[in-house]
Amino acid sequence: MVGGWLVDGVPVCPGETGEDLAEVEVRAGLGLVPFAVDVHAARWGTLARLVTVVGRGAAPYGVAVDENTLLHVADGEVRVAGPGRAHAVRPDGDGGVRVRSYRAGEGFSSDWAGLHTPSASAGPIAHPRRRAVPAVVAGTALWRAGQIVAVSITKR
């Protein structure tokens, strides 16, 4: 997700969150995480933007991240750190979406099918279909191996 606040001319989040775009845009990202990412969910109210994008099928699933919140993505597992929450958004199978919020210390599978299943273990979850790429999403920055590798993250 690169920004925008309208979908077909209908507001889905505050106009000042559009990042100089009117219509919501979803573009291919760097491929470092296997889901769409939206940021500033609590502060800017962008969770509704991601819900709309996933609900319309523009992204298969995604995670909206609150301010000062980290996602550590490695070995098929996403772990949350920081004072905010990460909100996993996925289709519910009936034409709608399901949102599950995770706080620090909680985690979930980075695979779409596993987003509904919280992971209580600190260990990795194996997904033979997908090779894990260690990464951390922090606000609007993506960290990998201690270095910033991107400033804007979109869906793969």
Q: What is the mean pLDDT of each run of 10 residues along the chain (156 residues)?
A: 90 91 89 88 92 92 92 88 93 90 93 50 31 42 41 34
Residue type, 67: E
Q: Residues 156, 34: contact at Cβ < 8 Å?
A: yes
Structure tokens at 95: 């034409």
Cα 123 from Cα 11, distance rounded (Å): 41
Cα 74 from Cα 143, distance rounded (Å): 12
Helix (H, G, I), strand (E, B) or coil at 143: strand
> What pLDDT was estimated at residue 112?
64
> What pLDDT was estimated at residue 33?
85
> What pLDDT was estimated at residue 147?
39
- What pTM did the predictor assign? 0.72
CA-closest candidate to residue 95, choices 54, 62, 59: 54
> What pLDDT was estimated at residue 31?
81
> What pLDDT was estimated at residue 114?
53
Cα 90 from Cα 97, distance rounded (Å): 5
